[in-house]
Each structure stands twice: as structure tokens, then as C-alpha cells.
Amino acid sequence: MRCRILVTDLDGTLLDRSGSVSTSNREAIQRARESGVDVVFATGRSWIECREISQEILGAGVVITAGGAALHDIGTGRCDDRIVISHDLVCHCTESLIRHGHLAHLLKDPTRAGYDYLLVGDAQLDAASRWWFGIHPVVTRSVDRLHFDEVERAAQLTDVLRVGTVAMASDLAVVADAIRREVPDRLAIKHWPALVALGTAGIDTHLLEIFDANVDKWQMIQRLCKARGIDEEEVVTMGDGLNDAGMLRGARESFAVANADASVAAFAKRRAPDHDDNALAFVVDEIMRAQ
């Protein structure tokens, strides 16, 4: 198993239940890098939501953010690659969410827009999002509706990496199904339990995420490999959640942590310990043994 890039998810994979990186995992990252293996984080978080931990643990390199929609340079925060949603689809999804009584969360490319989220609608911001925005230096702007002026409207619809919201799972299933019927094959839509406190997920509180149909962590890994002239066969991935399925399936060698959902773990080639039991250190040891 020759490995040049080890890609790991953050929440539920590298991070333990307290949201921390263990000493064993930190030392394993150092060992991997000293042996010539580049370690890359691939997360559903936005750049601002993973900047601190990326700079603390890795210091330099790149991080795949927003479920594969963007690639950021860790040192500068520069967005080196991205896949945005077209204006018409941003508008359609935003208006559909508002019609169903939800507050639309438009995640922006902050290096272009100058802020992180545009919140659209008159619904209240949910408790999980208030908590999440409170523990990260997120910059938001709020409007009741998309602007009627074409120039202002275009600015609102530009640089959008993801459209989403947080609500009860049953409510999000309704709006997700409606959007899938209205624009089949043009979007990637998923919803899953949202983090509601550090290291925990809400059973009934779900996060709805809507991306361009081409967005996936594995797709961005492939783009990174092409840019660096690296064979995809030399990538090892590890993860636990729905947005990790593509990279677990696509990589020649992949590991699902023990706490992964069974439907996601089925895509992985191998298993790793629980994220509370130094899963990344285990994977690095396996890589070192096979190099």
C-alpha cells in the first residue's frame, strides 16, 4: 500500500467526542509527514469553521472544505479550487426553503464574498446554528428575501458553495424531496443529524446540504491529485459519515472508523478503531507497515 496522500475526515473521525485531536493522533500525523505522506483534512465544515484546527494541527498544506466544494491553502486561507452552485439553482433552492418555512443558509466563498453565510428569510435561526456560529468566528449577513434589483440579487447569488438549513428531520425530508423532483440530476442533496453540542449529534435535528451535482470529497481529491501529478492509487482515505462515502468508495485503500454508520462503512475497504480510540494513528501504522 504505497501512500502519498492520507485524507481524513474531521468530525467523527480524527476528532474524538470532545472535539479534540489526541496526542497519539498528533504524533501519527507527524510520523506520516516525516515519511513523505501528505495529510489532508476533508470536512463538511467551511473554511472559517476548520481554520483554527487545520492551522494548529497541520500548520501548512491544504484542506478540503464544505464537503468537497472548496480547497483552501491552510497558511493563507486562499481558495485554490472551488465548485459553486449556479445562480438559478441558488435562487430556486433558497425560495423553496423559504416557502417551506425555513431560513436558508447560503454558505459563501469568503475569500470572494467577504463574509461566510447569507441567511435568507424571516424564520428564526435554529438553536444548533446559533451554538455553532457562536463557537466559530463566522461572519453572517441576514436579509428577509433575495433582492429584487438585478445587481444586488446577482451579488447575493454569487460565490455560493452550499445552500442549506437546519430543522427537524421530518421537515427537511419534505423540502429535500420537493427540490429533487423540481431539479433532478443538477444538485447533490443530503441531510443528516446536525452537531448540537461539541461532539454530539441531534437525533431529530438535521442539517440539509445542497451542492452542485459535481461536489463530493472524492471529486476534489481527484482534482488535487491531477494538479499535483499524483496517481489516485496513492491516496488513502478515512471517514465515518454520509459525505465520506464517495472517498471511501473511490480510494484504492480506505478505512471506516468503528463508529461509522453501517451504510457508510460498507463502502470502505477496511475498518479502523473508534474515533475515541486513536483511529488515525492506527491507519498511519498500517500505512507505514506497508510502505
Write out the chain's pLDDT in tens, 291 residues: 689 999 999 999 999 999 999 999 999 999 999 999 999 999 999 999 999 999 999 999 999 999 999 999 999 999 999 999 999 999 999 999 999 999 999 999 999 999 999 999 999 999 889 999 999 999 999 999 999 999 999 999 999 999 999 998 888 889 999 999 999 889 999 887 766 555 555 567 889 999 999 999 999 999 999 999 999 999 999 999 999 999 999 999 999 999 998 999 999 999 999 999 999 999 999 999 988
Question: What does pTM read for this prediction?
Answer: 0.95
Residue 159 is which amino acid?
D
Cα–Cα distances in angstroms (integers) from residue 42 to residues 8, 14, 63, 240, 279, in the given order: 6, 10, 6, 12, 16
**Closest by alpha carbon to 203, among 136, 129, 260, 128?**
128
Say if 5-82+215-290 and 87-212 have the same CATH topology.
no
Identify the CATH class of 87-212.
alpha beta
Which secondary-structure segment (H or E) carries 286?
helix 279-290
Sequence-distant (≥ 6) Cβ neighbours of residue 220 within 8 angstroms: 42, 64, 68, 69, 70, 71, 81, 83
The domain segmentation of the chain, as residue ranges, is: 5-82+215-290, 87-212
Task: Sort strands 200-212 and 160-168 into parallel, antiparallel or unpaired.
Answer: antiparallel
What pLDDT sits at residue 283? 98
Q: What is the CATH number of domain 5-82+215-290?
A: 3.40.50.1000
Q: Which residues pair with 140 in a beta bridge?
A: 117
**Closest by alpha carbon to 88, among 209, 212, 208, 188?**
212
